[in-house]
Homo-oligomer: A and B are copies of this chain.
Amino acid sequence: MVFGETFSIQTQGFSDIKDVTDTVQHTVVKSKIKNGLAHIFVVGSTASISTIEHEPALAEDMKDQLEKLIPTTLRSRHSQTWGDDNGFSHIRATLMGPGLTVPVVDGSIVLGTWQQIVVIDHDNRPRLRKIFVQVLGE
């Protein structure tokens, strides 16, 4: 069995972190799939999906460290060529990847107590992000 659903979420950019765990779990419940996999994918080349303990202090830490690794002030050939100033967003997104798979067991996604599924939007402006959730199993 396969069940897919798209949802949208408003993000603020600059590696803004949004918790989408409940939305993913809701899709799993609607799918009626009891055991299998749920795959979460962000459409576009400047955002990522991962897990984190979603609390405000750690979200700020994550942004600080991404800033240290790939600064928003990065002079990139991409920004110079296209004039959209978001070279850093692309690099962060390619490093972290656009998708995440989680197990589904007894109709629920498997996660730790302090582990949430998040969209991290690296772009340099607010966006309405399209997220695709595909559930496979039986």
Contact = CB atoms under 8 A, between A and B. Distances in A.
Interface string A91-108: 101111111111111000
B94 A97 contact: no
User: Which of A81, A93, A94, A134 counts the most chain B CB atoms within 10 A?
Assistant: A94
A19 to B, nearest CB: 12
Contacts of A55: 78, 81
A103 B132 contact: yes
Contacts of A115: 43-45, 98
A4 B105 contact: yes
Size category of the A interface is 35 or more
Nearest to A81: B57
A45 B51 contact: yes
A69 B65 CA distance: 9
Interface in A72-102: 74, 76-78, 80-82, 87, 90-91, 93-102
Interface string A46-84: 000011110101101110010001100010111011100
A95 B95 contact: yes
Given A98-B115, A99-B102, A43 B77 contact: no
Given A58-B87, A58-B90, A103-B132, 8 more contacts: A4-B103, A41-B110, A45-B52, A51-B94, A57-B76, A57-B82, A65-B91, A105-B134
